[in-house]
Amino acid sequence: MRIFDPHIHMTSRTTDDYEAMYEAGVRALVEPAFWLGQPRTSPASFFDYFDALLGWEPFRAAQYGIAHHCTIALNPKEANDPRCTPVLDDLPRYLAKDGVVAVGEIGYDSMTPAEDTALATQLQLAADHELPALVHTPHRDKLTGLHRTLDVVRESALPVDRVLIDHLNETTVKDAKDAGSWLGFSVYPDTKMDEDRMVEILRTYGTEKVLVNSAADWGKSDPLKTRRVGEAMLKAGFGDDDVDLVLWRNPVAFYALSGRLQLDPTEPPSPTHEGNSILRGGA
């Protein structure tokens, strides 16, 4: 079973996770820029984080045979913080980089006017940079959030078929599918979606344009949930080809819209790596 996790926050995870993910079949992943839990106090805090997503984390993933890409954005929660919003002006220089395969994660948290502005601005940035967008749906009031998200996407320069709507569930999947977006599902131990509900959704709505992710981060989450969904699909009578479509070919097809997907886990240059070489050379 080959697996592409299209949404996982590896910065929050350990090397044991990388080993277990490789063992489970994960060969590629995308790490969206998001909230650190601890509020940022200036745009400079984003720059170090974005640099880590583009340098250190792909280097770390490559040690375990996993290709790492990222998405870059001002996340919805911090779109409400005036200490953070100036980062919007600096996003273009990051969006030009090869390791960036989408703008994201963007979308709504509390559906404020500040979030409207950040979402519209960043959809325009995606269009300008010929990148797709990863748009999450809010944890509360999901259907209202989805409809408002789809309205903003329709008013933007980015076609809806270049948008992946994430954290979908039984209440939101139909409208997102009817709108023509890619369909993302985050499978979590306690909340969001579990593997059996995921199988039911695949039975009802099919496998086309469906992506499954672990969204594992610093909270209670499981980086092997993609594998668990593959196993649950096989147990429920789906074939190997269906599993491969959902867990590999669909995420590849979506992020390939960036024109930047590089599925060999090549080791990117990293300052720390050079530092290590210098250390070894001097030893």
- Cα separation, 207 vs 182, in Å, equals 11
Answer for the pair 165, 132: CB distance below 8 angstroms, yes or no: no
Residues 72-131 that bind Zn ion (CB under 5 A): none
Which CB, 168 or 243, lies closer to Zn ion?
Answer: 168
Give least dist CB 216 to Zn ion, A.
9
Rg (CA), the chain: 18
Report the C-alpha gap between 206 and 116 in whole angstroms.
Answer: 32
CB of 7 to Zn ion, least distance (A): 6
Residues paired with residue 163 on neighbouring β-strands, in sequence order? 133
Q: How far is the CB of 134 from Zn ion (least distance, A)?
A: 9
Nearest distance in Å: CB 77, Zn ion: 11
Q: Between 21 and 243, whose beta carbon lies closer to Zn ion?
A: 21
Is 187 in contact with 212 (CB distance < 8 Å)?
yes
Angle at 94 between CA 267 and CA 150, to 5 degrees: 115
Q: What's the token pair of residue 263?
A: 């599925």
- Of 66 and 215, which CB lies nearer to Zn ion in the complex structure? 215
- Shortest Å, Cβ 149 to Zn ion: 15
> Rounded to whole angstroms, what are the CA distances from 95 to 53, 154, 236?
12, 22, 40
For residue 276, the minimal CB distance to Zn ion (Å) is: 30
- State which residue has the least CB distance to Zn ion: 34
Size of the site for Zn ion (CB under 5 A): 2
Tokens encoding 223: 């980086």
Residues 6+ apart with CB under 8 A from 249: none
Q: What is the DSSP track for 183-204?
A: EEEEB-SSSSB-HHHHHHHHHH
Rounded to a whole number of angstroms, the minimum distance from the CB of residue 264 to Zn ion is 25
Here's the x/- map for Zn ion, 208-237, by CB under 5 A: it reads as -------x----------------------
Mapped onto helix, strand or coil, the DSSP state of residue 107 is: strand
Which residues from 24-83 bind Zn ion, rule CB under 5 A? 34
What is d(CA 113, CA 64) in angstroms, rounded to the nearest whole number?
42
Query: Closer CB to Zn ion, residue 30 or residue 247?
Result: 30
State the first-to-last Cα distance of the chain, in angstroms, to the nearest integer: 42
Nearer to Zn ion by C-beta: 31 or 242?
31
Residue with Cβ nearer Zn ion (103 or 215) = 215
Give whichever of 10 and 131 is closer to Zn ion, judged by the CB atom.
Answer: 10
Q: Which residues bind Zn ion (CB under 5 A)?
A: 34, 215
